Amino acid sequence: MKGFWRNSLVVLAGLLVSFTALAESAPASVKIAIVAFTQGGKPVFGGIPGRVIEEGWLEQQLQQRGIKLDWIALPHAGAGPQINEGFSNNSIDFAVRGDLPSVIAGAGGVPGKLIVPGGSGNNVYLVVPANSTATSIEDLKGKRLALHRGRPWEFAFSNFLASRQLKLDDFKIANLNPQVGAAAVSAGKVDAAVLLNEAYALEDKGVGKIIWSTKQGSNDWRLVSDLWGTDRFIEQHPDITQLLATAWVKAAWWISQQANQDAYYQLSSRAGISESVLRRDDQDDPVSWKDRWAPKSDQQLKTHYQALSAYALANHLIRDNYDIRPALATRYTNQALIDLNLTDYWPNLRGQVTQNP
């Protein structure tokens, strides 16, 4: 009998140690870095992060586990280096990062895994001053052009140039972020600028006009951002990583429903971009509203990132070819689609969702 109790106490002690270890292994917080607009000293998030916050499901799930959810707002200028530093020293756990910066970071040895692929992406615009006589890219050859190098929209614009038998060397490139580039084109300091949807704000002010956008190009030219996580966090906390992936996919599904489109615009307009601009950004878009929010399949990701890597290597943005495959952790997206019964919701993913790593 004494042996029985002795063995039972050993087992009980082992269980207590195991439970204590599990409790200690739970992170105190989950830190997600997002480029955001600041209003009244506080960050405001739109898009998928905004919907995740508004719904509250992820925060509730983490609270039940004693984990705090921290949203880290990043400025539009310099977000990439901050994400890379955060991933390298584990000061952030997850971040939404553009595709070309991700290639540059990965080729430079910055650790990280792609958890949830972005949708079809955002449009890119070529804007000239309101009084410009230029009506085509050919009219701008040899002129001053504002373009933020190494950012996702560079790939989109360079593909457009290649389709017209042109290259970046055919222009005098001013390496300016979109905000500074918008100011430069409105003041006539440059002859054109590659911008995002702030292009419509320039038209509204009567200081700029759009002469081209990715709505007129291939769907693969758009600015794409994906949700990435640090190797360390994903390895140590796969259950928490799954919660985040599920929340992300759930938000994309909610936004993709036509009935929620107006609510999406109202939500995202709080993040510093007017509802009118957001709506015109989507107007006449060749990609349907539903399909725009579909996560890319693994094959689409491989094809897209292979093209990005080839471009970055040819333009001396990286020194060696970058292979996205070891960084794909889309099994979390796949599991989210299965758990949410969405495996057949988006046409591009039908028959492609598996539980394999």
Identity at 312, one-letter amino acid code: A
Identity at 356, one-letter amino acid code: N
pLDDT (tens digit per residue) in 132-166? 999 999 999 999 999 998 888 899 899 999 999 99
pLDDT (tens digit per residue) in 171-202? 999 999 888 999 999 999 999 999 999 999 99
Q: Are 276 and 329 contacting, i.e. CB atoms less than 8 angstroms apart?
A: no
Q: Considering only the top CATH level, what class is 125-221? A: alpha beta
Name the residue with tokens 């410009």: 132
Cα angle, residue 280 at apex, residues 35 and 249 outer, rounded to 5°: 50
pLDDT band at 252 (very low <50, low <70, confident <90, very high): very high
DSSP3 helix / strand / coil % (the chain, rounded to 5): 50, 15, 30
Alpha-carbon span 201 to 276, nearest angstrom: 9
Identity at 167, one-letter amino acid code: K
In 80-239, the DSSP E strands lie at 94-98, 113-116, 125-129, 144-146, 172-174, 192-195, 208-213, 225-229
| CATH T-level assignment (fold) for domain 25-121+224-349 | D-Maltodextrin-Binding Protein; domain 2 (3.40.190)
Cβ atoms within 10 Å of 107's Cβ, excluding its own: 18
User: Could you write out the DSSP letters of every residue in 234-296?
Assistant: HHH-HHHHHHHHHHHHHHHHHHHSGGGHHHHHHHHHTTTS-HHHHHHHHTT-SS-HHHHTPPP
| Two domains, one topology: 25-121+224-349 and 125-221 | yes
For residue 301, what pLDDT is reported?
Answer: 93
Listed in sequence order, the residues at least 6 apart from 86 whose beta carbon sits closer than 8 Å to its beta carbon are 33, 72, 92, 95
Domains in the chain: boundaries: 25-121+224-349, 125-221
pLDDT (tens digit per residue) in 32-91? 999 887 777 788 888 999 999 999 999 999 999 999 999 999 887 778 889 999 999 999
The two counts, helices (H) then strands (E), for the chain are 15, 12
Identity at 237, one-letter amino acid code: H
341: left (phi over 0), alpha (psi -120 to 50) or beta: left
Cα angle, residue 130 at apex, residues 271 and 213 outer, rounded to 5°: 60
Cα angle, residue 175 at apex, residues 174 and 180 outer, rounded to 5°: 90
The pTM of this model reads 0.87
